Amino acid sequence: MRLVFLGAPGVGKGTIAETFSAEAGLAHISTGAILREQIKEGSDLGKAAKSYIDAGDLVPDKLVSDMLAEHLKNCKRGYILDGYPRTIEQAKFLDDLLDQLETPLNAVVLVEIPEKTIVERLTSRLTCKSCGAIYNTKNQPSEKEGICDKCGHELIQRDDDKEEVIVQRLKTYESKTKPLIDFYKKKDLLLTVDNSGSPEEAVENLKQVLSEKEE
Ligand code: AMP
C-alpha cells in the first residue's frame, strides 16, 4: 500500500503514520525527519535546509524532491509519505516519479483536528532527540517525564514548535499545501481521518476509511 498523509502542522500526522506503518508493515517516510537528520549530520543538504525550517518556511521543492526520489527508488515495500508533497509542484513531481516506477498511490489521507487545538498540540509536543519518536505532554506523555519510552534518550521541543515559528508554518500550510486537498480530490484519492480523539481512535478510523475505499 502506498499512502500520502496530508494535514496542517500539529494535526498528528506523524503519530498516526508511526503507529499505522508499524502495524501494517509499511515504511514511514517523513521528509521533516529526514531533513532534521541531515541537519544533525551537518550535510550540505542539512545546511541548505536549516534556515528555511527555522523560519517556518518550506525547503525549496528541488532539494526535497531529489531527496525523496532517492528514498522511494530504494524503498522495496509499501510506504506512508508523511509531509510530502507540500506544494502542487511536489505533487506533480511525485505523480511523474510514481508513473515512471509504475507504482501509483492507493490513497491520500487528510488528517484533521479543530483549528483551535492545533497551536495547543504543537506547543505541547516533545520529540526524542535521538530516535525522533513523538510525544505530547497533554494527550500522549512519555512514561518518565522528559525521557523517550523507546530508546531512553532526552525529549526536546523542536525549534520550529516555538509559538512564533508555528504561526508562520500555519500560514505556509494555508497558502502552499492546502491546495493539494482539491488536487487529490479531483483524482478521487482523498480520504479524511478525524484526529480530535486519541491516536488509537484515529488509527481505527483510518483502517475503516481504507477498507471502505477498497470495497
Ligand atoms: P515536519 O516534520 O513535516 O513538520 O517538517 C518540518 C519542516 O521541514 C517543515 O516546516 C519544512 O520547513 C521542512 N519540510 C518537510 N517536508 C517538506 C516538504 N515536503 N517540502 C518542503 N519543506 C519540507
Closest ligand 1 atom, residue 172 Cα: 10
How many A from CA of 12 to the centre of ligand 1?
Answer: 14
Q: Are strands 134-136 and 107-112 parallel, antiparallel or unpaired?
A: unpaired
Residue minimizing CA distance to atom 5 of ligand 1 = 32
Share of the chain above pLDDT 90, in %: 81
Give mean pLDDT, residues 24-39.
95
26: pLDDT strictly greater than 80: yes
Secondary structure class of 76 (helix, strand, coil): coil
Instruction: Specify the pLDDT at position 70.
Output: 92
How many A from CA of 125 to the centre of ligand 1?
Answer: 16
Share of the chain above pLDDT 70, in %: 100
Secondary structure class of 127 (helix, strand, coil): strand
Query: Would the CB of 16 count as within 6 Å of ligand 1?
Result: no
Q: Report which DSSP code applies to 154.
A: B
Give mean pLDDT, residues 162-182.
93
Given pLDDT bands bounded at 50, 70 and 90, which one contains residue 162? confident
